[in-house]
Structure 1
Amino acid sequence: MADAAFGPLDFTALPVDEVRARARAAYEELNRRRSVRDFSPQPVPRSVIEHLVLAAGTAPSGAHRQPWYFVAVQDSALKVRIRELVEAEERRTYMERMPDEWREALAPLGTDHVKAHLTDAPWLVIVFREKYGVKPDGTHVKNYYVTESVSIAVGLFIAAAHHAGLATLTHTPNPMTALRELLRRPANEEPLVILPVGYPAAGAQVPVLTRKPLHQIMQVDVP
């Protein structure tokens, strides 16, 4: 295998005070991010969604395979069909599959099988994980750390959407095959998450939550 091509890193070292200020500003901005279930019908330009996907596509990935694909849905009829698929599975989950412990965990959030955000939001972005690559001759190419790589890309998408002044919500789809077929994606892909994207509705409500403090999520060195 030929050696990979390398080039100079485009990087400018900043004064430590500016690094500290930027880190604090990033935290303060992201700490205002909330998952939203009440969306406004206010349109969002396609170019905004494209730049959010480009931002997500800067994520690191195993062996640089970039094993992700983003399907952006704006069509109202298609959103209705997606909602129908999702709600049918969610109804079965809430009524038949969900253990009591899970119900108790979700109770403070007030969620149920009704997913109005899937038709209310101006855009749905369905993120697919590419289980393996396919060469032009049909042979398979192994991908590495697929779920980890795509999950990082989803995180960057959410952060970029918040930075742009938009709201999102993560929904993990159960009708994997049906959703893939509806969106005409190949067999080597499966949906990992659905992200409604748009402006929050006027008067949108969110649960009053507390995030874990630093000492509960970070350790420095080993005591």
Structure 2
Amino acid sequence: MTNNHTIEIEGHRHVSFHLDRLEPAEMAAKSDAFYQWLDTRRSVREFTNEPVAKSVIENIIKSASTAPSGAHKQPWTFCAISDPVLKKQIRIAAEAEEKESYESRMSDRWKDDLKPMATNMYKPFLEEAPWLIIVCKRAFELDTDGKKHNNYYVNESVGIACGMLITAIHNAGLVTLTHTPSPMNFLTNILKRPKNERAYLLLPVGYPKQPVYVPDLDRKGLDEMAVFYEGE
């Protein structure tokens, strides 16, 4: 993208945008190659403690931050944790919530649906993975005087950023797992986040143990998940 020209629209500066167009054959090949590569992504629950450079995590987060957001408010905070003391606190609190969920909150049908995932209330990956990224949604903004300012389409915006975050993790040659203990307010409490932030998603990030096994699952085919409305 090159920004060679600027104009004013309703008093705000806009810059020119350039996109290198691809020939149809190259476009088809690149889009198929990207799908084939992304289809190798899997959720992994077993991590080594091998270090991952902070600069890599920074690049992953910056990639996620390119996501579109309502009115460009960018209503997210990415909390990246490598401190083993904090990770242990998070694991203890998360497993307490998971125990409650497995024993009293989750229906038998829900637990049956989880059986192919081979998951349970114990979450050692919260300590094993070299990094945890806690994505917080910013429900509103607070200025220096404590006055609230609206954010828009917060859940949608943060959800898009999380998808891009997971893709960036895969692109870096690392693995992750989406973890959503419920409720998640213990995360914002442990991390001492401000009152305008709510924990949205937890992602352990690192290298998989070797060997590591994942469920033998099939993804839905295109005809099961897409509907095309084409003119004649």
> Could you say which residue in structure 2 is the equivalent of 1:14?
22
Give 2:197's match in structure 1, choosing from 189, 200, 205.
Answer: 189
Q: State yes or no: 1:154 paired with 2:156.
A: no
- Does residue 201 in structure 1 map to residue 209 in structure 2? yes
| TM-score, normalisation: structure 1 | 0.97
- Identify the range of structure 1 (110-119 vs 177-186) with the bigger mean alpha-carbon deviation: 177-186
Bigger mean CA deviation after superposition, 134-143 or 82-91: 134-143
* Match in the other structure for 2:136: 128
Using the alignment, how far apart are the partners of 1:4 and 1:174 within structure 2? 42
Does residue 30 of the first structure (1) align with residue 60 of the second (2)? Answer: no
Q: Which moved more, 1:74-83 or 1:6-15?
A: 6-15
Q: Which moved more, 1:34-43 or 1:132-141?
A: 132-141
Is 2:74 the counterpart of 1:66? yes
Distance 1:41 1:178 in 2: 24
Q: Provide the C-alpha distance between the structure 2 equivalents of 1:107 and 1:176, rounded to a whole number of angstroms.
A: 23
Which protein, 1 or 2, shows the higher relative CO under an 8 Å CA cutoff with sep ≥ 6?
Answer: 1
TM-superposed deviation, 1:175: 4.2
Amino acid at match of 2:54: R
Task: Check conservation: 1:125, 1:194, Cα contact below 8 A.
Answer: yes
Distance in 2 separating the partners of 1:66 and 1:106 = 33
Shift of 1:195: 0.2
Query: Aligned ranges for residues 86-101 of structure 1 at < 5 Å?
Result: 86-101=94-109
Kindly report structure 1 stretches of 4+ aligned residues shifted beyond 2 Å. 173-178
Cα distance, 1:103 vs structure 2: 0.9
Distance apart, 1:173 and its partner CA: 2.9
Shift of 1:18: 1.3
Aligned to 1:108: 116
Partner of 2:6: none
Where in structure 1 are there 5+ consecutive unaligned residues?
Answer: none
Aligned with 1:140 (options 140, 148, 165): 148
C-alpha deviation, 1:12, in angstroms:
1.2
In terms of Rg, which structure is larger? 2
Match of 1:56 in 2: 64
1:105-161 deviations in Å (ceiling 9; x for gaps)? 111111110001111100000000000111222111111110110010010010011
Count of residues in Structure 1 that have an aligned counterpart in Structure 2:
223
Distance 2:99 2:181 in 1: 12
The alignment partner of 2:13 has SS state of: coil
| Cα shift at 1:10 | 3.2
- Which residue of 190, 201, 217 maps to 2:225? 217
The worse-fitting range, judged by mean Cα deviation, of 10-19 and 90-99 is: 10-19
Root-mean-square deviation (CA, aligned residues, Å) is 1.4
- Normalising by structure 2, what TM-score? 0.93
Identity of aligned residues (%): 45
SS at match of 1:128: strand
Aligned to 2:173: 165
